[in-house]
Chains A and B, each alone.
Chain A
Amino acid sequence: MATVVMTSLDSKSRAASRGLSDIKIRNLFIIPTILFLIVFNIFPLIYSLGYSFTDFRASTNAPATFVGLQNYRELLNDPFIWANFAITAKYVIVSVTGQVVVGFGTAMLLNREIPYKGLITTLLLLPMMLSMAVVGLFWKLLYDPSFGIINYALGLGSFEWLANPDMALYAVAITDIWMWSPFVMLLSLAGLSAVPRHLYEAAAIDRAGPFYTFFRITLPLVAPILMIAIIFRTMEAFKTFDLAYILTSQPTTEVISIRLYKMAFQEWQTGRSCALAYIVLIMVLAITNIYVKYLNRVKER
């Protein structure tokens, strides 16, 4: 055994003397990627940090003037921005809750001996592989008040989904639930299949009821993976832009990304939008940290 290790070490150093050294290869393989990501992700952020302290407008040639923290102060005191955040929060809660209920429920059903389980799971993957913008577009057809198939199937007559300010956010959330419940389902299914069979057998011997078995065995063991699905979907829902933007233009569905887009590319308040981008960024980083913490915890298991 020791000799094998010796030869392998020896040959490594010989190989190194012929070709590039391992450290050189490692640097050659890693550094370009790191540089690329810094140039196209970090540098733009630093660039926009500078603009966030100015009153710059990208639509005019006027030079940027430094205004200090004014943009941040105004944004944080703007009730309309807080309304956008509130809409975003409501959207996240409704759509993630819906996805967990539908996704986990479907996973519980599928976690039995179901014929064609593999085929069904594959078919359910399809919605989440599609483009959100294009999905938004064809749900517009489904939601149409006069000829949409949803109103016809539910017998709702000419019910307004997208033009009704109270309903529009839920309509967007329903589409999001349709798209992403399969994701929660897949992760839950992986979690459910990892629960050891003997725990259920032991519970059956103890004559435990289905509720006891679910809350004391199934749920605690699936919880970590379910948590990953929830955090992942929360982050994505927080960033939502395309789906809400394509489906409807109601003020009640103006999530923070749409507000940011309008501020930057329609009103051309570049400096102010950079400041808002930073506020959003800090929130995303906070959520990301929670996500990575849970990811590591589950991986260590």
Chain B
Amino acid sequence: MAAVQTRSERALNRVAIAAVLVITLLFLAPIYWITSTAFKPRNLATTIPPTVIFEPEISPFVKLFTKRSQLRTAPEPEDYAAAPWWERLVFDGGEKVVRSGRGEVQLSGYPNRFMNSLIVAITSTVLAVGMGTFTAYGFSRFKMKGEADLLFFILSTRMLPPVVVAIPMFLMYRAVGLNDTHWGLIILYTAFNLSFSVWLMKGFIDEIPKEYEEAALVDGYTRLEAFFKIVLPEAATGIAATAVFCFITAWNEYAFALIMTNRRAQTAPPFIPSQVGSGLPDWTVIAAGTFLFLLPVAIFTFLLRNHLLRGMSFGAIRK
């Protein structure tokens, strides 16, 4: 009886393992597909049956970063194949890079949007985590009246649909000239991430024993010294985890960026989709832009895997 049970148990386990593998592969397939498309020559991006084996190219990335114009006469396929690789990059499938008067290759809009994303995401992360850490310490260590209400108020600011807040913010920004500026987005993303940063950091600081600071106070430190020299170093991993979370949120944000920016301060999320247009889009270039944009998030996800669950659930689950 027992042996039969274990045998069926084992068979069941094998089915479960197979099912998990299939599910994982299905979930990763879209990401694999966009990544592989980013390295394909243009003519292989939209073939049926889909091309799985191909020689990877970097030309989609070169096209992504440079301005190109269509040539009136496309080069003959033989000439094209015989050309050295650097000429193929400049002169690809009937397209040619645009050069300025001094012969410099002109950059496309992408590098600029990518930089905007970096500037906005990094600055707002520093601000949100900085303010969040101080506030979390205040809530964690000192009692006050209405603490739960204040914490709920802080959390509630994140529950608002972005479009709802965006309408009055747009009007206010227009009145003070913050539309289409880096600071405009930075302030919005800081406000958006601050609530999250306070809640997450409070969880981390709550776990640092109060006795550490009390010992420091006995040794003659002031409260502020104890905070900077004892609590902050102890909270370092929590700060790093919170920072990556805030960065990813700001990095991925779309609605505010779409509404509040149009050229100067536009970030990548509204820019990449706007390049699809209505004609026949070059999917390899769009995939290249997408791939580069996803890369930091993928790296952070891997580095931060152990903190992610807690962050996603606002500390609702205590392991």
Contact = CB atoms under 8 A, between A and B. Distances in A.
A261 to B, nearest CB: 5
Nearest to B171: A58
B50 to A, nearest CB: 5
Contacts of A22: 142, 223
Nearest to A228: B316
Interface string B123-153: 0000000011011011101101000001011
A67 interface: no
Interface in A1-56: 7-8, 11-12, 15-16, 18-20, 22-23, 25-30, 32-34, 36-37, 40-42, 44-45, 47-48, 51
Interface in A121-143: 121-134, 136-142
B243 interface: no
A27 B298 CA distance: 38
A126 B191 contact: no
B85 interface: no
Contacts of B198: 33
B58 interface: no
Interface stretch (A71-79, A89-97, A104-112, A165-173): A104-112
B294 to A, nearest CB: 6
B155 to A, nearest CB: 7
Contacts of A277: 163-164, 167
Contacts of A23: 142
A161 interface: no
B298 to A, nearest CB: 6
A42 B165 CA distance: 9
Most A-side CB within 10 Å, residue of B49, B160, B170, B270 = B160
Interface string B239-274: 000000000100111110001000000001110110
Given A45-B165, A120-B24, A109 B16 contact: yes
A274 interface: yes
A122 B134 CA distance: 31
B178 to A, nearest CB: 11
B189 to A, nearest CB: 10
A139 to B, nearest CB: 7
A147 interface: yes
B131 A36 contact: yes
Contacts, number: 288
B269 A260 contact: no
Given A37-B194, A241-B254, A125 B308 contact: yes
Contact of B290 (A115, A138, A280): A138
Interface residues of B, number: 103
A134 B114 CA distance: 13
B222 interface: yes
B317 to A, nearest CB: 5
Contacts of A246: 254, 273
A183 to B, nearest CB: 6
Interface size bucket, A side? Answer: 35 or more
B180 to A, nearest CB: 14
B27 A182 contact: yes
B195 interface: yes
B31 interface: yes
Contact of A284 (B144, B160, B253, B290): B160
B163 A261 contact: yes
Nearest to B159: A288
B270 to A, nearest CB: 7
A33 B154 contact: yes
B164 A190 contact: no
Interface string B159-178: 11111111111111010000
A270 B160 contact: no
B283 A133 contact: no
Considering the complex of A and B, which 3 residue pairs feature the smallest CB-CB distances, nearest first? A19-B222, A29-B138, A131-B252
Interface of A: 7-8, 11-12, 15-16, 18-20, 22-23, 25-30, 32-34, 36-37, 40-42, 44-45, 47-48, 51, 58, 106, 109-110, 112-115, 118, 120-134, 136-142, 144, 146-147, 149, 152, 178, 181-183, 186-187, 190-191, 225, 228, 232, 235, 238-239, 241-242, 246, 257, 260-261, 264-265, 270, 273-274, 277, 280-281, 284-285, 288, 291-292, 295, 298-299
Interface of B: 13, 16-17, 19-20, 23-24, 27-31, 33-34, 37, 46-50, 131-132, 134-135, 137-139, 141-142, 144, 150, 152-157, 159-172, 174, 187-188, 190-191, 194-195, 198, 214, 217-218, 220-227, 248, 251-255, 259, 268-270, 272-273, 276, 283, 286-287, 290, 293-294, 297-298, 300-302, 305, 308-309, 312-314, 316-317, 319
